[in-house]
C-alpha cells in the first residue's frame, strides 16, 4: 500500500521508501535531558542530505508515578544520547507537550513538524518518564 501526501508545489510520496518513524525513550524522570530521536534500528535518526522530514503524527505516554510529563521537540546539528548534553545549534520547534502523573494512557494527535536536511530531531524532556514516537515522511 502506497502512502500519498500532497502539498502544493511539493513532490508526492508514492512509495514506502520515504516513510519515517522515530522514537525516544527516557530511562528515568530526571529533569532537563535531551535525547536524539532513534530510528527503528536504534541508531540516531538523521534527515537525509537534500531532504526534509515532515513528522505528521505523535504518540506519547507518561509512565511516571511521581510527576507530570513535559517535553518539547526540536533538532540540532549533532546527535546526543539521553542526558549527555545539548545538541549543537539546538532549535526548538514546538511549545511544551504535557500529561498528568500516572496517566499511562497514550496521547496521539496530528501535527506538522519539519526537520531540515542533515539535522537530528531531538526531544527535550523537562519532567516525566516517557516514550515519544513520531511518524512522518521524508521528501
CATH code, domain carrying 133: 2.60.120
Q: How distant, in Å, are the alpha carbons of 11, 117, 138 from that of 51?
A: 11, 5, 6
Q: How distant, in Å, are the alpha carbons of 1, 29, 103 from that of 7?
A: 20, 38, 36
What's the pLDDT at 11? 46
Q: Is residue 1 part of a domain?
A: no
Question: Roughly how many angstroms between the first and final C-alpha of the chain, as a whole number?
Answer: 18
**CA of residue 11 relative to chain centroid, distance:** 23
What's the pLDDT at 8? 46
**How far is it, in rounded angstroms, from Cα 11 to Cα 31?**
40
Q: What pTM was estimated for this model as a whole?
A: 0.81
* Tens digit of pLDDT at every position of the chain (139 positions): 454 554 444 444 555 567 777 767 766 555 678 888 888 888 899 999 999 999 999 888 777 666 677 889 999 999 998 777 899 999 999 988 877 766 667 888 899 999 999 999 998 888 776 778 889 888 8
Q: Is residue 38 part of a domain?
A: yes
What's the pLDDT at 132? 84
Per the structure, the complete domain to which residue 125 belongs is given by 19-138
Amino acid at each position: 500500500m502506497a502512502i500519498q501526501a500532497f502539498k502544493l508545489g511539493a513532490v508526492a510520496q508514492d512509495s514506502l521508501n520515504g516513510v519515517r518513524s522515530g522514537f525516544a525513550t527516557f530511562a528515568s524522570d530526571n529533569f532537563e535531558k535531551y535525547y536524539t530521536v532513534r530510528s527503528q534500528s536504534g541508531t540516531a535518526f538523521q534527515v537525509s542530505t537534500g531532504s526534509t522530514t515532515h513528522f505528521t503524527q505523535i504518540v506519547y505516554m507518561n509512565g511516571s508515578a511521581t510527576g507530570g510529563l513535559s517535553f518539547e521537540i526540536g533538532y540540532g546539528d549533532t546527535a546526543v544520547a539521553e542526558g549527555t548534553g545539548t545538541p549543537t545549534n539546538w532549535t526548538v520547534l514546538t511549545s511544551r507537550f504535557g500529561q498528568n502523573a500516572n496517566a499511562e494512557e497514550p496521547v496521539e494527535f496530528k501535527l506538522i513538524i519539519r526537520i531540515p536536511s542533515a539535522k537530528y530531531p531531538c526531544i527535550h524532556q523537562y519532567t516525566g518518564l516517557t516514550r515519544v514516537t513520531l511518524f512522518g515522511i521524508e521528501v
